Copies of this chain bind each other. A is one copy, B any other.
Amino acid sequence: MNNRKENSTNTINESYWKDHCGIAFTLSAIGGRWKINILSYLLHEDKLRYGELRKRLVGISERMLIAKLKELEQDKLVNRIVYQQVPPKVEYELTALGRSLENILILMDEWGETNM
């Protein structure tokens, strides 16, 4: 996808990458404080406007939401749909790739619910 190799995980040795490279990549795509929340909402609600997402993600700053949406878009997990009109309207939705994360999110949710 994009510049994964510049992330913090690039200091890991070869034996690691042989065994767990996929995990590191997945984490780099959905890890951090906000991305999974964003993906979850888009999973449940199909299309959401920027402002709707912001209302749901209580506590996120505009700057962060934009940054994370842009990263998700660059990683092809979400589509950004621009409606040419005034006032502006932009919607975000999951791509097929984004939806393919559903199994992982479900498993994580189940494990958490069971063990919290």
Contact = CB atoms under 8 A, between A and B. Distances in A.
A23 interface: yes
A67 to B, nearest CB: 16
- Quickly give the copy total for this chain: 2
B20 A56 contact: no
Interface string A9-49: 10111011001111111110101010011001000100000
Size class of the A contact interface (CB-based, 8 Å): 35 or more
A86 interface: no
A62 interface: no
Interface of A: 1, 4, 8-9, 11-13, 15-16, 19-27, 29, 31, 33, 36-37, 40, 44, 56-59, 97, 100-101, 103-105, 107-116
